[in-house]
Structure 1
């Protein structure tokens, strides 16, 4: 008792803030809380990554769309189109040359381009099957029979008398009408948005070709078809005339394949120009504009990135608007809105511009006029110059009604082909002809 009391009295007062090593009544080695080092909080994963690598800005973090594979696609598709067209032209020319030089026919010289085309028109007239149709309608009422035969004869006569460029234009217009009908079916519209409208942010390459035959508006389809049949005929006539004066003096039984290859290449080139300008000029400007305005809320930063990615999935001719339930403020709307400036494009205007420029350069004395609004005739060079000026102003001012860069790209392709295209076409034909010989 005395020992215990003495020990207890000699013991230092218990520090309530101390921690003991055991639960015994003899606390040894007491340690004050001031001696315990304060443990810091564990850094987050983002902080650890920031220590290893510097944090990129918004402009650096956004991935820019590619253009390399689009350039390769356009180049390969254009070369393939001209190679196939040249080979088919040579095969057709050889066929009609042998046909006119058959032993049953007497010919004093080598068949010319005019002879072969006259033979084609003659056989086409004989294959009209007018007599067969008359026999089929023998039991029909006389009024119905007369109307059907008269309509068939007039349509056949117009088709036979039409130039090859106009015939090819009618075929392209038929494809355009079929695609336009598909646009009018509600269940097919999601498919058409994805595969028949070129969005520069989607990364697709084949849509640059399919969008050439796509028209969502009837008036867009109507005016493009009217322009194609008119200027396509003039372009086909120029192609035939220049081939007759080619250095190789190769005859050409038909210019249909040549015109079709030119049309496809002009459309692809115009779409490529629009794609490059959008991805390398317009898109970086939008990213810089978004980066300059800091988001008011932490969640808005993610909406910047999502708005750019959602633009790639936006339907054609519809502005992109990606907002969430929490981002309903005016600041969030201003952040998302600029991404809607990049919209999908479609239509054959770029390819048609190529035919318009060639027609103006090849036939400067031609007169043209507008259907709507109706105007008197004026020189074609004045009309093409006015269209070129409007597209230049529209591109500089950022007008969004038409794809002005695609128009300028088609016009540039037409001018380049007028200067160098025929020499290159003749060399391709000679090369393929020598391989067949």
Structure 2
């Protein structure tokens, strides 16, 4: 069965009006708001501090459980079943109970944060400029750009992408000729349906698909026993470890299946709406440069929000830990600080950004048969995190949630103008294909 261009319908939305700030976003928020919540903290069992007399400690017999909880820093942790209860997770984190910070830890941490935030944003701005210049040159052939706007460029990109998918469809037709008419029709119909969804998807939604794929790969890495030590060391942020790179890697790390699913659902919902706002708001600012894609802008926003949330949790936990340790007797055992991981800090930034950008939107909370306005719903979620911080709840990283929410609020007011400044800073004279 020959595949024709009409089958793929690559120009599905050509001629439609571009998205506007008054866009109804209810379809973006059918994902329950509660799914944006979990930034799971892998929690060892709590060991209350107690005073130990040095000259009696050596003479007293050591129990097996105490041996497990006092493994040296560089010892290999015991293997743990991912489905095991929290009691077994003490061994899972036993190698991170020592305070490995040095006087250089804070300067190193701050340098990492500033360098990463600036580097990611400048890189994203540069890539956006290159892509935009390429399409402007292609559409105008070096002539004046009067009448050219973001919508025209986006439509042109969609047309070319649709033609690319159509060529791939022709290859699929040739590869499936030997399978019979029925099987070939089923495969082509599936391909056409997927191609239409990809073409119609906003750039930010495609970025969310990529982030979910990366999260899935990291999740599978957690399931490999031989990588357990590497994953604990590099994909969980422990405030006392003295490491800075885990502020970033922990954002893409999910140890539990439900944690991954809930965060992915929330990201696909709120992330797509947040990316739409960033694209529309940038175009509305005076003297804004043309922008062919919002993918790089949203990716920079997501990474910056995740690292900001991780650092906020890190700074407050370390400060509270140091203040508590100063009150302990000289020989008292020090308390533990749980490691944390997950993308919910960055997702919270998307949630608060959407709440401010689309105040008339209604959301459907988990297990509630009716929808609620987004701003009261998000406010209730923030209040729950505040209570969690005050009450000392340890199941979720409430400080990271609130830090991410703060980043979203700040970015709503200052992000788009700053993005245009980065665009001008990295502006190019001529476009080149990326």
Q: Same fold (TM over 0.5)?
A: yes
Distance 1:435 1:403 in 2: 46
Distance 1:145 1:255 in 2: 36
Residues 140-289 of structure 1 aligned to structure 2 (within 5 Å)? 140-285=179-324, 287-288=325-326
Distance 1:430 1:436 in 2: 14
Q: Conserved in 1, the CA contact under 8 Å of 2:132 and 2:293?
A: yes
Q: 2:360 aligns with which of 358, 365, 369?
A: 365
Residues 256-405 of structure 1 aligned to structure 2 (within 5 Å)? 256-285=295-324, 287-288=325-326, 290-291=328-329, 301=331, 304=332, 335=333, 339-340=335-336, 342-370=337-365, 372-405=366-399
Distance 2:100 2:254 in 1: 30
Q: Deviations over 1:163-212 (max 9, x none)?
A: 11111000000000000000011111111000100001100000111001
Q: What corresponds to 1:135 in structure 2?
A: 174
Q: CA offset at residue 107 of structure 1?
A: 9.1
Q: Conserved in 1, the CA contact under 8 Å of 2:347 and 2:404?
A: yes
- The structure whose RCO (Cα within 8 Å, separation 6+) is larger is 2
Distance 1:182 1:219 in 2: 16
Q: What corresponds to 1:30 in structure 2?
A: none
- RMSD of equivalent CA atoms: 2.1
Q: What corresponds to 2:162 in structure 1?
A: 125
Q: Conserved in 1, the CA contact under 8 Å of 2:253 and 2:343?
A: yes
Q: 2:410 aligns with which of 413, 416, 424?
A: 416
Q: What corresponds to 1:433 in structure 2?
A: 427
Higher-Rg structure is: 1
Distance 2:146 2:344 in 1: 44
Question: What SS is found at the alignment partner of 2:394?
Answer: coil
Q: CA offset at residue 141 of structure 1?
A: 2.6
Gaps of at least 5 residues in structure 2 are: 1-98
Q: CA offset at residue 68 of structure 1?
A: 2.7
Gaps of at least 5 residues in structure 1 are: 1-61, 295-300, 305-334
Q: What corresponds to 1:113 in structure 2?
A: 150
- Distance change >3 Å, CA 108–CA 180, structure 1 → 2: closer
Distance 1:86 1:375 in 2: 42
Size of the aligned set, in residue pairs, is 329
Distance 2:254 2:328 in 1: 32
Q: Conserved in 1, the CA contact under 8 Å of 2:153 and 2:292?
A: yes
Distance 2:190 2:423 in 1: 40
